[in-house]
Amino acid sequence: MILALPYPHIDPVALQLGPLLIRWYSLAYIAGLVLGWRYCLALVKRPRPAIIPERIDDFLIWAILAVILGGRLGYALFYKPGFYFANPEEIFLVWKGGMSFHGGFLGLIAAIALFCRRHTITFLNLGDLVCAAAPIGLFFGRLANFINGELYGRVSDVSWAMVFPHGGPYPRHPSQLYEAVLEGPVLFVLLYVLIRRNSALEKTGLVSGVFAVGYGLSRVVVEFFRQPDAHLGTLFAGATMGQLLSLPIFFFGLWLIAKAVKEGKAGEPGK
């Protein structure tokens, strides 16, 4: 008989106010964005910051729209293109679930590029700040996936496996928690140490590069424990969609690190 830890059934709805349902998933996005914004403000409050604090305040609404729209469009294009091409009205029904980190990542890149062009800011200076704070949002997002009982792992006989409500009768890896730890606290602490002890923000692109490498590596590894999407399964050479989308991020990060180390310190503060 295979033993398993009991899955802690938590109502996905955190609070109900009449007809209004406030879900943990929504609160996770709010917590990630607000705490990330405050952390970015803390990072720029130092001598000769590359970006003035007021610009971080201005960028918050851009980040919110980029993460939500990019995440939703990415999910539609990367994971269920056939369904959403046939039912385009469903793309904007975000409360039905379905978000993609890779789509949100691309959305943020686009938002950063447009915002920096508007305010004459070096793209990677803002990108470094956003990447330093990104693990906060990733941590809360993966915890919300666990509460929803979604994106669970593959069948396993490890002692901490769980029977998820939508995952059939067999114990599975709690892969959401693996991702939460690796993409959240582990990556956050790594970037924090680089910033505080090695002045990583003074080397434009270094924080972005380390984040990209760290996220890409974490995602590729965890995908070996996560159940592939039922409608996609494994793709090229047995890799999952998550792995295939993460590899370019990983190699892009390596390039950014090499470039940052070669070029050295950041330029003058932006406007």
**pLDDT single digits (tens) 224-268:** 999 987 767 778 778 888 899 999 999 999 999 999 998 875 444
Distances (CA, A) of 26 to 14, 129, 132, 145: 9, 23, 22, 11
pLDDT value for 96: 64
Q: What is the pLDDT of residues 109-147, one digit of tens each?
A: 999 999 999 999 999 999 999 999 999 999 999 999 999
The number of helices, as runs of H, and strands, as runs of E, in the chain is: 9, 2
Residues pairing with 161 in the sheet: none
For the chain, give the percent of residues with pLDDT over 90. Answer: 56
Candidate from 62-76, 81-95, 177-191, 246-260 with smallest mean pLDDT: 81-95
**Contact by Cβ (8 Å): 266, 125:** yes
In sequence order, the β-bridge partners of residue 21 are: 16
Quote the pTM value. Answer: 0.87
CA torsion 234→142→218→134, rounded to 10°? 130
Residue by residue, DSSP assigns 2-28 as: ---BPP----SEEEEETTEEEEHHHHH
Please give the mean pLDDT across all residues of the chain.
Answer: 88
User: Stretch 34-61: mean pLDDT, rounded?
Assistant: 87
Reported as a pLDDT band with limits 50, 70 and 90, residue 95 is low
Q: How confident is the model at residue 194 (pLDDT cuts 50, 70, 90)?
A: very high
pLDDT at 269: 46
AA letter at 226: R
d(CA 207, CA 200): 6
Phi, psi of 3 (to 5 degrees): -85, 150
Helix (H, G, I), strand (E, B) or coil at 162: strand
